[in-house]
A and B are shown apart, each in its own frame.
Chain A
């Protein structure tokens, strides 16, 4: 919010002066909406960040309770990191209204839309809610593709550098190290899932198109008839038929979705339910970070697909 950017108009300059950058020496106060963004921000920001995450890894990110304490956290934030594709539309906007923090309002430098630079999938040609709760910007679950984590890490390094130029080198180094680590693991992940290329999986909600595209899997059968619409018996019957036709045996379920429905379908089709998460910490053993979550996802799915391989047509 430099005076230069606000133009020569004096109220802009006054606002800029009054609200200046974070005091020297202090950590950057960063609030992340979801734990996946937080995990990458933590790696990129390192010790220069005081990071708070609003949503928990086990809860439905569409319906987080907007607790009044979030207003306090956002009030003190230098940056708000969010997905940018309305995943948080149900709860974030009124919170920002109450924060009286111009550093994080949309269009401010501290409002970091992590989807920037990411090629979003399933951008609807027509906005029509009879198709379920689709997001105007596209499918918001883009971080299930590790290649997009690379983009987000670079973006965050850039954003932190703008807000806190003194630690520019640290942010650049951290991001580069994360990306190097990711680039080292990506071929291994791809190799692990390569034998299952083209295999069909069933998901409860359409959160996995990015993951599927990356690893050549087919995740196009959903227990929900439409995004956000609960499964009906008729739809589940159709799902079971499709599972038989495609040889899909693995049903992946996020920690906040109805596992019982998935178990019923699995029992009737001889399939199996596999617990997955988009957020580090959503499933036990994934708390350490984003790359560890990807390790878990790849290993678990590779194992489940291998063990159900005999059933595939």
Chain B
């Protein structure tokens, strides 16, 4: 290139001294020379790359193990030249390891398995002290979650993700869940992105995180109570728009079915795993979720707006507001609705000299408000002799329609104090406004005429929890976590739980999200 520079300057000097027509000729020459030089440069680059590749091939051939024609030569019968130069492939044998990994197949395959062991002073662990469907669910061991992840590009237009979940309930029964399975567009115009399939609704922070991404052994109480034990997820579609702003700002709108156990605050209801099949949802009313979808009003809508700022070079803030609107399963009219609103704030500090991501401090808080319309319900519909709700005179209770309001929050702080070690503290709080049905002096008749007074609804009563924990990551592919929960439920009293969680990851490299 120095030659080019010299010729350019020489030509420039010559140019100044010449008449105009000669100058034009010179410009032509210059242009041609430049073009030639460029072509020459590109050619030499291509040649060098080809040389490198050829050398690499030779190197590979030399490094291949001993199955070379030379070793076969003494047997004589086959001319060595007739065999392929190198044959690294051989038939698969049952004793060979099966490899799963990243970039070597059309999908990245990974497995995350999470287990817990521990105990609690509570008798009602599953669905009682522990509201999450993937929380530890009994004294002794729990298989919290064994998750198979497949991800990859479907074609130039879509990207696909499937999460299949295997679990054992407290009775030892195996079950499988289609946790998520969706495809997402790669290149819609106008910064839009469409996701279609079965997916976790974009509501706040914790709802879209899988158990292995949590900073604690269990889900926050507010998420368990308002969004359901398995989180809010259902078949549907989600459109999101990345605003063309210099900072991160994204709008989401999800439309999903509102029925099923994974839409617990909507037309889910009775039988989430964790509770008895016959257990009533809150409000002491039978659930009515048999209707299909008659109109757009029968769908679940989840809008969200999230934005993020860099407070300093080492600190990042993410804030969001979310909502979920849809019909619920209370009463028989089918027009009762649930509204859930949430705000979330995440702040993270990471050292500018972090090693393996440590030290860091991360603070995450979510607050939610739920307005729930309870439908009218007449317990006379349930025959005498069946378990039912009765009034003080032992007559079937007539529950009036009303709107009840609950709210709650959690706030968690994680401190990665040295490589591999994280100390955490989380506080949970839930409460509600006392509703008319809780003050009506009703009784539970178990069918035999024995009456138990019904006071505050246990699924809406005030409770709080404090959870310190300590996590050790031997590597980024495994973790061991010890957590203590102090629970205080207003009617049921205090409980203490200790859980030890262990987890491993096989296959494709886990990528971290903010």
Contacts and interface: CB of A to CB of B under 8 A. Distances in A.
Contacts of B176: none
Interface residues of B, number: 70
Contact of B41 (A91, A106, A176, A177): A176
A89 B357 CA distance: 14
A172 B193 CA distance: 37
B242 A91 contact: no
Contacts of B214: none
B38 A63 contact: no
B157 interface: yes
Contact of A136 (B48, B104, B189, B308): B104
Contacts of A66: 511-514
Given A91-B511, A93-B511, A230-B420, A72 B52 contact: no
A19 interface: yes
Interface stretch (A21-29, A53-61, A303-311): A53-61
Nearest to A255: B353
Interface in B29-64: 34, 37-38, 41-42, 45, 48-49, 52-53, 55-56, 59
B357 A63 contact: yes
A151 B56 CA distance: 15
A119 B248 contact: no
A99 B48 CA distance: 35
A81 B21 CA distance: 46
A100 B1 contact: no
A4 interface: no
Contact of B49 (A94, A101, A117, A255): A117
Interface string B187-209: 11101110000000000000000
A27 to B, nearest CB: 16
Given A90-B509, A100-B187, A68 B475 contact: no
A91 B513 CA distance: 7
Interface in B451-501: 474-477
B354 A133 contact: no
Interface of A: 6, 11-12, 15, 18-19, 56, 58-60, 62-63, 65-69, 71-72, 75, 86, 89-94, 97-102, 105-106, 117, 119, 127, 129, 132-133, 136, 151, 154, 157-158, 161, 168-169, 172-173, 176-177, 180, 228-230, 255-258
Contacts of A161: 42
Contact of B511 (A90, A132, A172): A90
Given A97-B184, A133-B475, A158-B45, A72 B245 contact: yes
Contacts of B191: 75, 100
A90 B247 contact: no
B2 interface: yes
B151 to A, nearest CB: 8
Contacts of A173: 1, 4-5
A71 B248 contact: yes
A151 B44 CA distance: 12
Contacts of A136: 101-104
Given A59-B354, A89-B509, A256-B355, A15 B187 contact: yes
A256 B354 contact: yes
B52 A100 contact: no
17 contacts: A65-B357, A69-B248, A69-B308, A72-B248, A91-B511, A93-B511, A100-B185, A101-B187, A105-B153, A117-B53, A119-B55, A129-B475, A132-B475, A136-B101, A158-B45, A230-B420, A258-B419
A277 B224 CA distance: 47
B212 interface: no
B247 A15 contact: no
A63 B356 contact: yes
Contacts of A72: 242, 245-248
Contacts of A56: 313, 352
A94 B151 CA distance: 11
Given A66-B512, A100-B186, 16 more contacts: A12-B156, A65-B357, A65-B360, A66-B511, A67-B310, A67-B514, A68-B316, A72-B248, A93-B511, A94-B512, A94-B513, A119-B55, A127-B99, A133-B477, A157-B45, A169-B38
B352 A127 contact: no
Contact of B156 (A15, A151, A255, A256): A15
